[in-house]
Amino acid sequence: MEMTSGFQEIVPHSGTSEVLLGEDRAALRERLGDRETFRKGKATAQLSDHYSAHGLILHFDDDSKLHSIEFTPPSDPHLYSARLLGVSHSSVLQRLAERNIRVEPEDVGWGLTDLDISLFVSSISEPESPIEAVTMYSKGHRAFNLEFFNSQSPGIGRVHQIIPREGLTSLRLGDLRDDVHEALGPGMTWLSGPGPTISDRFLEEGLDVGYDDHGRIIRIIASPPALAIFEGVDLLSLNYRDAASEMLARGHRIDEKEGEIHLADLGFSIWTARIGDDTLPVCAVAFSAMSGKSRITLHQPTMP
C-alpha cells in the first residue's frame, strides 16, 4: 500500500486508506520514507515519527504499534467527506451536528468523544478560526482524562538516588499506588492511553509513575526538574553522548537504541528527546517492568 496524493478519508478507530491504526512501526517506516523521530514529551516512553512530506505525525504504543495519527498540512484529512484542515471550526461543527456527533470543548480545540478524534483550534472563541491539526486515536487511547489529586504530604523533593534494578530510594517497582500518593504529595492522574493502565505525574518531584491493574508500579520516569543520582552523578545533567561515555568509563555495559541508552545489568534506561543528535541533553531516566522491556523482578512491599 503506497502513499498517494489527494485527500484521506478518516475511518474512526481504524485509520485511512493509506495508514491503519495498529500497524507496525517498521512497516510504516519502510513505506513512508524519510522521517524525523522524536519524543513528544520528556517523560514520554514511546517515540513518534514525523513524516513532514506527508503531513503525518505517528505515535506508537510500547509494542511499536500505531495508536494515533496526527494530520497537519500538506495532508488533507476528511471526515464523512468533509474537509477538516484549514476550514473554520464553526462550519465543521455544524456539519457534525447534522450527523448528531457529540462534540466537547478541549483546552486547544474540540473533541469528538465517541469517535476518539481531536480537532486543534488556536481560538475556539473565534468562529472563523481554522482547524490547524487533527488527531485520531485507536479506541481507548485518547488520554485526555486528567484528574488532579491533593495530599497532606509535603513531598520528597527533587533529588532521587537510583537503586539499580529496583527504582529510586523514594519509590520502587512493585510499590503500591496508595503508598506513592502518601509519600509524594499532590499531583495529577491520567487514564487510558498507551502504556500503563493508569499513571500519575508529580510535577514538583519530576516523576511520572505508571501502575498495573492491581495498583503496583510498573514504570518510573524521572525527568527535569528532578535530579537522578547514580554513583554520585546526576544523569539528568549530562548530554546523551557524555552519559554513554560515563557509563562505559564506569564499567557498565550499554545497549544503544533509538533515543535510549539501555543498561540491562542495572535495570534502567537513559533517554534523549530527539534522534540523530547525541549532543542533546538527557531528558529522562526510566525504570520499566512492562512487557517488551527489561524483565525486572518487582519489589514486593512489606505487608503489615
**159 and 130 housed in the same domain:** no
Region of 185 please: left (phi>0), alpha (psi -120 to 50) or beta.
Answer: left
pLDDT class for 194, splitting at 50, 70, 90?
low
pLDDT digits (tens, 9 = 90+) for 87-131: 999 999 999 999 999 999 988 899 998 999 999 999 999 999 999
In a domain, 295, yes or no: no
**130 and 158 housed in the same domain:** no
What pLDDT does 136 receive?
A: 96
In a domain, 302, yes or no: no
In a domain, 200, yes or no: yes
pTM, whole model, 2 decimals? 0.86
For 224, 260, 285, the CA distances from 234, given in Å and listed in that order, are 11, 17, 10
What is the domain range of residue 157?
147-288
**230 and 267 housed in the same domain:** yes
pLDDT digits (tens, 9 = 90+) for 126-173: 999 999 999 999 886 665 567 888 877 777 889 999 999 999 998 999
For 200, 223, 304, the CA distances from 298, given in Å and listed in that order, are 18, 22, 18
In a domain, 300, yes or no: no
**24 and 109 housed in the same domain:** yes
Distance between CA 112 and CA 101 in Å, rounded?
7
What pLDDT does 3 receive?
A: 54
Reduced to 3 states (helix: H, G, I; strand: E, B; else coil), residue 195 is coil
- Name the grid cell of 89: 471550526
What pLDDT does 291 receive?
A: 44
Q: Which residues pair with 198 in a beta bridge?
A: 191, 211
What pLDDT does 6 receive?
A: 59
- What mean pLDDT do residues 296-302 have? 37
In a domain, 297, yes or no: no
For 111, 129, 214, the CA distances from 84, given in Å and listed in that order, are 13, 12, 41
What pLDDT does 143 receive?
A: 56
In a domain, 192, yes or no: yes
Computed from CA positions of residues 157, 161, 163, 164, in that sequence, does the dihedral angle turn out positive or negative?
positive
Alpha-helix runs per DSSP H in the chain: 25-32, 89-98, 177-184, 240-249
**69 and 23 housed in the same domain:** yes
- Which domain-ending residue is among 81, 115, 137? 137
Check if the beta carbon of residue 261 is closer than 8 Å to that of residue 243. yes
What pLDDT does 304 receive?
A: 33
- Which domain-ending residue is among 137, 160, 195? 137
Count how many domains the chain has.
2
In a domain, 224, yes or no: yes
pLDDT digits (tens, 9 = 90+) for 25-60: 999 999 999 999 999 988 888 999 999 999 999 999
What pLDDT does 244 receive?
A: 97
The DSSP call for residue 19 is -
**106 and 171 housed in the same domain:** no
What pLDDT does 38 receive?
A: 95
- Which domain-ending residue is among 81, 106, 137? 137
**229 and 188 housed in the same domain:** yes
In a domain, 90, yes or no: yes
- Name the grid cell of 210: 505508571
SS3 track for 170-234 = CCECCCEHHHHHHHHCCEEEEECCCCCCEEEEECCCCEEEEECCCCEEEEEEECCCCEEEECCEE
**112 and 207 housed in the same domain:** no
**183 and 280 housed in the same domain:** yes
pLDDT digits (tens, 9 = 90+) for 235-288: 999 999 999 999 999 999 999 999 999 999 999 999 999 998 999 999 999 999
**123 and 252 housed in the same domain:** no
